[in-house]
Amino acid sequence: MAKRNHDHLSISDALKQFVETNKLDKGLDKVNVANAWENLMGNGINNYTTSVSLERETLYVSLSSSVLREELSYGKQKIINMLNEELGKEIIKKLILR
């Protein structure tokens, strides 16, 4: 018979514990980063975004417009700061626009 844990956990704590136990946080970070990019950048930039991927602490964003890539490259650190703030933790250290 399974032993029951009688400690009362909130749903968010239980989910957090499940995620940590199963090492899912990296996968969730990748999804959350893509969502944060979409939310922060708006339709204008999202229309030219072909892919967003997180590898370790580097965010790779593929853009179909070289002009937009050049424009965004000037504000890389600001973009990194905004994304990390949106995510509530420092996930991204480097941004590569391609």
pLDDT at residue number 81: 98
**Contact (CB, 8 A) for 50 and 3:** no
pLDDT at residue number 4: 55
pLDDT tens per residue across span 35-93: 999 999 999 999 999 999 999 999 999 999 999 999 999 999 999 999 999 999 999 99
pLDDT band with cut points at 50, 70 and 90 for residue 10: confident
pLDDT band with cut points at 50, 70 and 90 for residue 17: confident
pTM (2 decimals)?
0.77
